[in-house]
Amino acid sequence: MQPKADEIKILLIEDEEFDVLRVRNTVSYYENRIKIVNTVSNGRAALELVKENPDKFDVVIMDYQISGGLKGEELITEIKAVDSFIQIIVITKMTINITDYNFANRLIKAGAFWYCTKYPGNIEEYIYQPTDFILSIFNAFEKKKLEKLKLRSDKKLSQNIVNLLEIKRIIGDSKPIVQLKESIEKYAKSDVSILVNGPSGTGKELVAWNIHLKSNRKYENFVPINCGSIPDELIESELFGYEKGSFTGAQNAKLGLFEQAHHGTLFLDEVAELPLNAQVKLLRVIQEGEIEKIGRTKKVQVDVRIIAATNKDLANEVNTGRFREDLYYRLNVVPIDIVPLRLRGYDIILLFEHFTAYFSQDMGLETPELEEDAKEILLNYRWPGNVRELRNVVQRLVLNCTGRITAKDISNPMILRNHLIVKDETSFENMTFGQVLPYRDVERMFKKKYFEYVRSISSSDSSAAEKLGLAPSNYYRMCKELGLK
Ligand SMILES: Nc1ncnc2c1ncn2[C@@H]1O[C@H](COP(=O)(O)OP(=O)(O)OP(=O)(O)O)[C@@H](O)[C@H]1O
Ligand SMILES: [Mg+2]
């Protein structure tokens, strides 16, 4: 016969016949729920039983003083080591001082669930006040069930995280990407605000996801908001929400993104687009950890980790007054920079192959093979749209190719739309590290580079000055200004 689901199976460890009887008598009223499955008189035998019969017992009731070597705290620890779900109730002799808290502490620390002191020996019906004793057995059983449930849901949750991490895996082993992954590992566990910087399509959101999934907030929400796509007048209600009836049209209360991200992570994408008045409010929330909801006088506590991203030079936005300096420092506690795809070398091919496998599987097609001269084109292309562009290119290719991907396939303008834009090492972007800088700074950079170049091909300063069409005195002054002397 199958044991009933809510039957509580007991292992009794007791070496005195009389006390075994008393325990039996105490639980007899509930014999349909509480079943003493085995009774043993020493610790070793008990431990063997637990080892050999996984999941057979829910609760152990053990006498504290038993003969044989293994007993007391040591026995508790050993049983818990074999099966941490088993709950242990300890019965001790009256002689043990019932107000000895250290003793109680030691038992609990060893892993006991509860303990009680035996009634005097002249009472045969009970070992202890029966309702308390039985209630404790029920509670112990409930605890075991809850612990099992928790383990199961924890397992499910962490399996979800493992799956998500696989989906959100950052492909690449070029130096800048290895460094990027190291930064993610280093900062994920702390709650510092992170500013992710990189040109469009380089994987800023992917990086934010990875930080979240590796943080202690991983089981909570990751809430992205694109600051550039929400009209100015709606930003505040999106971020902080509002109460029902707080203005005409507010028929229902709205949960703000900060509340949705409570205990989790808020991803502020395109943060440079945030209007100035929203910047002021955001700064205050970050400083105080509280939001002011529209239509509510009491502030609401929020615990949110902030990751912001931008493809602009935010420091420059500060200089030109479009972004608040104080907010900039709050967001940019740790900067993480992502380099453009064309600076990642062979990662281009790794990503290409990754997406090829992904899309062919998705469409139920055979994964095509990439030919060598096709690789050459991919490696020399400038990838202005970065990984996002590469992903789209692969998607188009997988639909159009079978078996092999050739150079001809790739240079088809329907596939690589601008395949003639190849990497150009002297381009502005390389000179300014992919950033757009104020003209003054670029002019200086250019002057310095050009002076260095002309000097390197000249035999003397006077010949360099002559090539540049400058009087020697002007030439010397300019070299000094540029830090070249
Ligand atoms: N290193 C990488 N490995 C795998 N996939 C990547 C990688 N980098 C980017 N991707 C993928 O490329 C696409 C673009 O990435 P993502 O949206 O994170 O970029 P972004 O920098 O936020 O772009 P935008 O500036 O346009 O918002 C996504 O599908 C992302 O999963
Ligand atoms: Mg993005």
SS (H, E, C) 104-116: HHHHHHHCCCEEE
> What pLDDT is attached to residue 414?
77
> What pLDDT is attached to residue 244?
83
Q: Which ligand 1 atom is nearest residue 199's CA?
A: 25
Q: Is the pLDDT confidence value at 175 over 70?
A: yes
Query: Ligand 1 center to residue 201 CA distance, Å?
Result: 5
Considering Cα of 151, then 154, then 155, then 156, what sign does the dihedral take?
Answer: positive
Q: What is the pLDDT of residues 418-434, one digit of tens each?
A: 655 655 555 565 566 55
Query: Ligand 1 center to residue 375 CA distance, Å?
Result: 21
With vertex at residue 411, the alpha carbon angle to CA 409 and CA 416, rounded to the nearest 5 degrees, is: 100
Query: Ligand 1 center to residue 26 CA distance, Å?
Result: 66
Q: Is the pLDDT confidence value at 363 over 90?
A: no
In sequence order, which residues have a C-beta less than 8 Å from that of residue 150 and are 6 or more positions away? none
Q: What is the pLDDT of residues 46-59, one digit of tens each?
A: 999 999 999 899 99
With vertex at residue 357, the alpha carbon angle to CA 355 and CA 360, rounded to the nearest 5 degrees, is: 100
Residue to substitute in 173, 206, 207, 222 for testing ligand 1 pocket (most ligand atoms within 8 angstroms of CB): 206
> What pLDDT is attached to residue 233?
83
- Give bridge partners of residue 35 from the DSSP assignment: 9
Q: For the residues 263-284, what does the mean pLDDT come to? A: 93
Query: Token digits for 344?
Result: 């990642």
Q: What is the pLDDT of residues 292-349, one digit of tens each?
A: 877 777 888 899 999 999 999 999 999 999 999 999 999 999 999 999 998 888 899 9
Query: Ligand 2 center to residue 172 CA distance, Å?
Result: 18
C-alpha to C-alpha distance for 80 and 68, rounded to whole angstroms: 19
Q: For the residues 250-269, what does the mean pLDDT come to? A: 91
Q: Is 160 within 8 Å of 27 (Cβ atoms)?
A: no
Residue to substitute in 388, 390, 391, 392 for testing ligand 1 pocket (most ligand atoms within 8 angstroms of CB): 388
Closest ligand to Cα 200: 1
Q: What is the pLDDT of residues 389-407, one digit of tens each?
A: 999 999 989 988 778 998 8
C-alpha to C-alpha distance for 239 and 295, rounded to whole angstroms: 14
Q: Ligand 1: residues whose CB is within 6 Å?
A: 170-172, 198, 200-206, 311, 351, 387-388, 391
Provide the pLDDT confidence category of residue 68 given band limits of 50, 70 and 90: confident
Amino acid (one-letter) located at 361: Q
Enumerate helices (H) and strands (E) in the chain, giving the number of each.
20, 16
Going by CA atoms, what residue is nearest to atom 8 of ligand 1?
203
Q: Which ligand 1 atom is nearest residue 200's CA?
A: 25
Q: Which ligand 1 atom is nearest residue 168's CA?
A: 31
> What pLDDT is attached to residue 235?
87
Closest ligand to Cα 206: 1
Going by CA atoms, what residue is nearest to atom 12 of ligand 1?
388
Q: Is 275 within 8 Å of 229 (Cβ atoms)?
A: no
Q: How far is CA 333 from CA 190, 327, 330, in A?
A: 12, 10, 6
C-alpha to C-alpha distance for 395 and 363, rounded to whole angstroms: 10
Q: For the residues 245-254, what does the mean pLDDT come to? A: 79
